[in-house]
């Protein structure tokens, strides 16, 4: 702990009363969800701090051409605010951003959000049982409970390629799109073929002069049942009893089978094999050139890393103005990229669809968190491995809860995770209230039990099978730990509602 931080902690210990009961960091769907639920539960001393200049998180920041959700919209929304008027079965990004804006207004929480406020550090004051936050503007804020809703895939990862800083033209990352860049008639290069690349590539190919796609690891691409939702269906979803619930139920069942169940029970269910047959057939049908097809075929099983769903990505490689380059990149030179074989591709604009920082230090979360005895959360995880009780709380970090923690996310709709995490956190806060406790901390035993159970159960997941070698997945850190929970959505919901509150210690700091 720095001397300045130490001094601030000593000062806050003298005040004992925090400015806020709860501070939430992050104004995406996690932060909006918990703000709504805190308000409904009667908390009135809370604030949400958001780095960006608008709410919506991912859907505020990601505005690249073609951005859209890849989970059906009937599931990719709060259970308590189901929108009947999605224009498509998979909503475009702008509609999700509008939905975020709608939710903060509909539930009256907009004035809880402080935008353009980046948290740099959070330090727990043990004497006072208070978190002390410092923002990049140098402001200091205190709270009793701190909820991290800052997300995981938020900080763009820029490729570390020799000479890239000297590239002659504009470079844009998909997650920080620059609307002023005009791609029409330009020679463009895209690095990366993950979910973002899959969406941006087919969208820009028809308008650019030429497009070179640099692929390091191919991605499985499946057809997307993405259809426009006609007015009468929207009307029925909004008005006819039972329609919304039936469509939601069908959508939830599809998502559960496609993601968590097929990952967790891949051996008995054989979903990965069936999905691979569909994906191979789709590739054969979509791409004319056999060499290109071979290059686009992954060597790992479907599900080892998130597959993509798109109806025109693969066919884009039939276009005469599109080249798929699979030779590794050696360097960027002037206005081109040189591959290790010596081929030079020249272009005017470079698009990096290179994803996000995940397990890099300083990303989980994106501000420093210092708990008991001055221990930094990054250091704690490096020493003890990436773990948290139910993916929500960590021993030694009292009054701190995270919405997307280690072994927390079953892999279905992100909203399912948001709602289970909120339920868990609100149960802790409610119990603290009942016991007049000012410090809530998960016990080491409960945490260890949860971690051990996850390690015991995870080998059944497809990620840990030998068929995933070569997938180059961002899901795992250096110890092989992950954010994925070994379990199903129903189990996660049930556990968030029934975990023993005695898994936590509830204490009172002396007044
Ligand atoms: P990503 O899945 O991490 O993909 C990044 C791509 O860039 C990969 O193909 C990667 O290759 C490549 N890459 C990175 N650094 C490179 C380098 N130095 N040289 C060459 N290639 C490089 O990132 P993403 O596409 O942004 O997607 C991340 C996640 O965000 C997705 O898995 C999904 O969960 C979410 N997402 C969802 C949607 C949606 O809902 N529609 C849209 C976008 C993103 P390797 O595979 O070899 O590392």
Per-residue HEC secondary structure of 202-270 comes to HHHCCCCCEEEEECCCCCCEECCCCCECCHHHHHHHHHCCCHHHHHHHHHHHHHHHHHHHHHHCHHHHC
- Pick the last residue of a domain from 352, 369, 394: 352
- Average pLDDT of span 353-366: 95
Consecutive H or E run containing 370: strand 368-370
Per-residue pLDDT for 237 more than 80? yes
CA separation for the pair 442, 388 (Å, rounded)? 9
Give the residue-averaged pLDDT of 479-498. 96
Same domain flag for 53 and 187: no
Q: Are residues 427 and 345 in the same domain?
A: no
Residue 323 C-beta-side C-alpha neighbours within 13 Å: 15
Closest-CA residue to 183 (of 159, 207, 202) = 207
pLDDT tops 90 at residue 269: no
Q: Indicate whether 10 and 84 sit together in one domain.
A: yes
* Residue 381, both tokens: 């995880």
Q: How far is the CA of 440 from the centre of ligand 1 (A)?
A: 37
Pick from 64, 75, 194, 417 the residue to mutate for probing ligand 1's pocket: most ligand atoms within 8 Å of its CB: 194
Residue 15 lies in a domain: yes
238 located within any domain: no
Domain count for the chain, please give it: 2
Provide the token pair at 184: 């029409």
Phi (first) and psi of residue 344, to 5 degrees: -115, 125
**Domain annotation covers residue 457:** yes
- 110 within some domain: yes
User: 511 pLDDT band (50/70/90 cuts)?
Assistant: confident
Q: Are residues 394 and 440 in the same domain?
A: yes
Give the integer Cα–Cα distance in Å for 399 and 144. Answer: 7
pLDDT at 4 over 70: no
CATH of the domain at 30: 3.50.50.60
Q: Which residues lie closer than 8 Å to 185 by C-beta, 6 or more apart?
A: 207, 208, 209
> Which atom of ligand 1 is found nearest the CA of 474?
3
**Cα(409)–Cα(33) distance, integer angstroms:** 16
Across 13-22, 220-229, 428-437, least confident range: 13-22
- Report whether 274 contacts 433 (CB < 8 A): no
User: What is the spatial distance between Cα 494 and Cα 482, in angstroms, rounded to a whole number?
Assistant: 21
pLDDT of residue 15: 60
In a domain, 333, yes or no: yes
Residue that finishes a domain, picked among 308, 332, 352:
352
Same structural domain, 108 and 93: yes
Whole-structure pTM value:
0.96
pLDDT at 11 over 60: no
Q: Cα 488 to the chain's mean position, in Å?
A: 18
Residue having the nearest C-alpha atom to atom 18 of ligand 1? 159
| pLDDT reading at 1 higher than 70 | no
Reading phi first (left if > 0) and then psi (alpha if -120 to 50, else beta), residue 83 is in: beta
Q: What is the mean pLDDT of the chain?
A: 95
Contact (Cβ atoms closer than 8 angstroms) between residue 22 and residue 38: yes
- The residue nearest atom 12 of ligand 1, judged by CA position, is 192
The answer on 312 and 193 residing in a single domain is yes
CA 508 – ligand 1 centroid, Å: 45
Would you say residue 395 lies in a domain? yes
Query: Of the given ranges (94-98, 127-131, 268-272), which has the lowest mean pLDDT?
Result: 268-272
* Domain containing residue 211: 164-226+250-352
- Distances in Å between the alpha carbon of 507 and those of 25, 88, 434, 436? 24, 50, 12, 8
Query: Strands 130-135 and 140-148: what pairing?
Result: antiparallel
Residue located via tokens 């820009």? 204
My answer on whether 410 and 309 are in the same domain is: no
pLDDT in tens, 364-398: 999 999 999 999 999 999 999 999 999 999 999 99
pLDDT in tens, 166-195: 999 999 999 999 999 999 999 999 999 999
Q: Give the pLDDT band of residue 510 (cuts 50, 70, 90).
A: confident
61 Cβ neighbours under 8 A, 6+ residues apart:
52, 154, 175, 176
Dmax (CA) for the chain in angstroms is: 74
- Kindly state the average pLDDT of the residues 246-261: 94
Whether residue 10 has pLDDT greater than 90: no
Same-domain status, 380 and 443: yes
In a shared domain, residues 343 and 373? no
Please, what is the end-to-end C-alpha distance for the chain in angstroms? 25
**The tokens 């210690």 sit on which residue?**
505
- Confidence (pLDDT) at 386: 97
The reported pLDDT for the residue numbered 7 is: 57
Q: What is the 3-state secondary structure (H, E, C) of 90-134?
A: CCEHHHHHHHHHHHHHHCCCHHHEECCCCEEEEEEECCCCEEEEE
Residues 6+ apart with CB under 8 A from 76: 69, 91, 96, 413, 414, 415
- Over residues 390-417, mean pLDDT: 97
Distance 489 CA to ligand 1 centre (A): 25
Distance CA 328, CA 159 (A): 13
Q: 242 in a domain, yes or no?
A: no
Sheet harboring 329-333: ordered strands across? 329-333, 336-339, 344-346
Mean pLDDT for 353-372 is 96
Average pLDDT score over residue span 254-265: 90
Domain boundary among 352, 380, 414: 352
DSSP bridge partners of 143: 20, 131
Question: Average pLDDT of 36-62?
Answer: 98
| Same domain, yes or no: 367 and 332 | no
Residue 455 DSSP SS3: helix
Out of 10-14, 62-66, 78-82, 383-387, pick the least confident.
10-14
Q: Are both 339 and 368 inside the same structural domain?
A: no
Percent of the chain residues past pLDDT 70, beyond the cut? 97
Residue pair 399/439 in contact (Cβ under 8 Å)? The answer is yes
Q: Where does residue 105 rank: exposed (0-12), middle (13-18), buried (19+ CB within 10 A)?
A: exposed
Residue 368 to residues 37, 116, 458: CA-CA distances in angstroms? 26, 18, 29
Kindly state whether residue 198 falls inside one of the protein's structural domains.
yes
Pocket test for ligand 1, best of 190, 192, 329 (most atoms within 8 A of CB): 192
Ligand 1 pocket, mutate which of 355, 363, 409 (most atoms under 8 A from CB)? 355
Q: Which residues line ligand 1 (CB under 6 A)?
A: 68-70, 153, 159, 161, 191-197, 199, 214, 216-217, 306, 329, 353-356, 472, 474
77/189 same-domain check: no
Q: Which whole number is the average pLDDT over 213-226? A: 97
Cβ atoms of 419 and 33 within 8 Å: the answer is: yes
What's the average model confidence in pLDDT over 133-140? 98
């Amino acid at each position: 702990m720095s001397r300045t931080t130490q001094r601030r902690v000593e000062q806050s210990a003298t005040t004992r009363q925090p400015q806020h009961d709860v501070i939430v960091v992050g104004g995406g769907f996690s932060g909006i969800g918990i703000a709504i639920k805190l308000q409904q539960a009667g908390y009135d001393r809370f604030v949400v701090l958001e780095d960006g200049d608008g709410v919506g998180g991912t859907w505020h920041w990601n505005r690249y051409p073609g951005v859209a959700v890849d989970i059906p919209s009937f599931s990719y929304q709060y259970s308590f605010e189901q929108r009947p008027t999605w224009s498509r079965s998979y909503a475009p990004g702008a509609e999700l951003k509008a939905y975020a804006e709608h939710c903060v207004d509909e539930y009256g929480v907009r004035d809880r959000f402080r935008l353009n406020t980046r948290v740099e550090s959070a330090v727990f004051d043990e004497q006072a049982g208070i978190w002390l936050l410092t923002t990049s503007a140098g402001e200091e804020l205190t709270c009793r409970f701190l909820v991290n809703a800052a997300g995981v895939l938020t900080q763009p990862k820029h490729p570390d390629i020799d000479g890239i800083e000297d590239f002659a033209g504009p470079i844009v990352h998909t997650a920080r799109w620059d609307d002023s860049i005009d791609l029409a008639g330009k020679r463009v290069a895209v690095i990366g073929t993950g979910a973002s690349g899959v969406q941006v590539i087919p969208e820009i190919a028809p308008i650019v002069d030429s497009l070179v796609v640099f692929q390091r690891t191919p991605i499985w691409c499946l057809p997307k049942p993405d259809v426009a939702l006609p007015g009468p269906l929207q009307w029925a979803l909004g008005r006819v009893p039972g329609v919304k619930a039936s469509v939601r139920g069908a959508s939830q069942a599809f998502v559960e089978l496609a993601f968590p169940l097929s990952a967790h029970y891949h051996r008995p269910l054989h979903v990965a094999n069936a999905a691979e047959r569909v994906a191979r057939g789709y590739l054969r049908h979509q791409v004319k050139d056999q060499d290109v097809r071979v290059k686009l075929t992954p060597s790992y099983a479907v599900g080892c890393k998130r597959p993509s769903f798109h109806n025109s990505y693969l066919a884009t490689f039939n276009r005469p103005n599109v080249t798929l380059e699979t030779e590794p990149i050696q360097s960027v030179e002037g206005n081109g990229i040189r591959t290790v074989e010596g081929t030079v591709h020249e272009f005017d604009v470079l698009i990096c669809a290179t994803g996000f920082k995940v397990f890099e230090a300083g990303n989980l979360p994106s501000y420093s968190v210092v708990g008991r005895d001055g221990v930094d959360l990054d250091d704690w995880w490096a020493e003890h491995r990436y773990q948290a009780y139910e993916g929500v709380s960590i021993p030694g970090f009292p009054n701190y809860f995270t919405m997307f923690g280690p072994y927390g996310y079953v892999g279905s709709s992100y909203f399912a995770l948001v709602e289970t995490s909120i339920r868990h956190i609100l149960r802790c806060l409610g119990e603290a209230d009942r016991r007049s406790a000012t410090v809530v901390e998960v016990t080491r035993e409960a945490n260890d039990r949860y971690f051990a159970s996850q390690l015991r159960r995870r080998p059944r997941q497809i990620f840990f099978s030998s068929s995933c070698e070569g997938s180059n997945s961002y899901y795992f850190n250096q110890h092989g730990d992950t954010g994925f929970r070994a379990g199903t959505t129903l189990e996660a919901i049930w556990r968030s509602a029934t975990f023993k509150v005695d898994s936590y210690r509830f204490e009172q700091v002396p007044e």
